[in-house]
Amino acid sequence: MKTLTLLGSTGSIGRQTLDVVRHAEGELKIHALAAAKNVKLMEEQARLFNPAVVVMMDEGAVRELRGRLRDLPIKVDQGMEGIINSVTAPQIDTVVTALSGRIGLEPTLAAIEAGKTIALANKETLVAGGDLVMSSAKKKNCKILPVDSEHSAIFQCLEEESKTIEKIILTASGGPFFGWTKEKLGTVTLEKALRHPNWEMGAKITIDSSTMMNKGLEVIEAHHLFNIEYDGIEVLIHPQSVVHSMVEYCDGSVLAQLGRPDMRLPIQYALSYPTRWKNPFERLNLRGKTLTFHEPDFEAFPALAMAYQAGRQGGTLPAVMNAANEVAVSAFLQKKVSYLGIHDIVGNVCSEHHVLDNMDLESILDADTWARRRAEEHIARLEARCSNRKDC
């Protein structure tokens, strides 16, 4: 039996991970659950899965949850210290990282330091600190098993001899605005952008999918996970999200992994690896299905090109791009900036940054803090300009 700490249990990946645990019949046990502030759902999860520890980032949430769980022998911890304790606990072997955003970096590094296996959903961690995370994992001989559907697909298509890989083909749904021109993208509303055609996900990743920044982050994630140069990572639009990604070998043979758009499959594989478990989840039925593939439009969706450039340049630039994007997407979700404003903010912050090659944790966090502040300044400027006009 594997014992888990699940970071981000109240989110989309977190809830689906708990569904996998429920179906895994004695294979998986929960030691700790962590989230930010969703006390109501955390109470339900604690009562169902009986963890030893639950952690809430928010101070008020901790107080409320302690009250709600006072009839149970469950420890309620708080903040980053609580999260770090939950991922380094001697009882656990695996940490599922399903927090949203760069906040996942420090717990992932702490878990690696403590020798835990990482089932990694939280792609922003690898975008911000990929070199550091991968070199720490190598030193500690820790496994980082991908949960992201494309990376799980690639992982499942890998053969022993990785030197014979010629390229990775990352598929992308294209999001709700596939085929739209730059002009038409100017009319996007929050409600439209939150409607992903194939996947039900948290708000931040749903917006990233619509701008194609999600695919950009995934290109950087793939570079680190599979140690492949950017020239060997290709993005292909596949609006049906059935082929989750492909690997092309030096003899021209292409291996692909297919499945329904259901994150429980890659989550379960990261937890069952190196074996596979049966489950009752609905199966893929290809009868009558048409699968299509298209070139991405780098002009209408400049986030993808920006991520390739940030990944290629490396150093602190990917961390800066990621941080600016987190702030800009959050502002869009609060209707403070327009859809196209997201790209302007991220682009401006990236071009103002003096890239450092020093990739220790302190440099990454400093760059992240700087980028968040600059992004906030750009948002304030856009808001001020907008408040003086009627057409914003």
Ligand X SMILES: CC(=O)[C@@H](O)[C@H](O)COP(=O)(O)O
Q: Is 20 in the site for ligand X (CB under 6 A)?
A: no
Residue number with CB closer to ligand X (169 or 263): 263
Confirm or reject binding of residue 209 to ligand X (CB under 6 A). Answer: yes
CA 116, chain centre distance (Å): 19
| Candidate residues 31, 116, 204, 215; the one interacting with ligand X per rule CB under 6 A | 215
- Binding flag, residue 175, ligand X (CB under 6 A): yes
CB of 124 to ligand X, least distance (A): 12
Residue 264 is a binding residue for ligand X (CB under 6 A):
no
Residues in the site for Mn ion, rule: CB under 5 A? Answer: 148-150
Other beta carbons within 10 angstroms of residue 225's beta carbon come to: 23
Q: Is 244 annotated as a binding residue?
A: no
103 binds, among ligand X, ligand NDP, Mn ion, none (CB under 5 to 8 A by kind): ligand NDP
d(CA 94, CA 118): 6
Please compute Rg for the chain using Cα positions: 21
- Asked whether residue 229 is marked as a ligand-binding residue, the answer is no
Q: Is 215 annotated as a binding residue?
A: yes
Residue 215, contacted partner among ligand NDP, ligand X, Mn ion, none, CB below 5-8 A by kind: ligand X
Name the residues that contact ligand NDP, by CB under 6 A.
Answer: 8-14, 35-38, 57, 98-100, 103, 121-124, 148, 199, 201-202, 204-205, 263
Could you say which of ligand NDP, Mn ion, ligand X, none residue 172 binds, taking C-beta under 5 to 8 angstroms by partner kind?
ligand X
Both tokens of 154, joined, read 């690639």
Q: How many CB atoms lie within 10 A of CB 179?
A: 11
Work out what residue 209 binds among Mn ion, ligand NDP, ligand X, none; the CB cut-off runs from 5 to 8 Å by kind. Answer: ligand X
Options 17, 88, 211, 214; binder of ligand X; rule CB under 6 A: 214
Half-sphere exposure of 107 (CA within 13 A, CB side): 34
Give binding residues for Mn(2+) as ranges: 148, 150, 218
Q: Which residues bind ligand X (CB under 6 A)?
A: 148-150, 172-173, 175, 199, 209, 214-215, 263
Give binding residues as ranges: 10-13, 36-38, 122-124, 148-150, 173, 196, 202, 209, 214-215, 218
Give binding residues for NADPH as ranges: 10-13, 36-38, 122, 124, 202
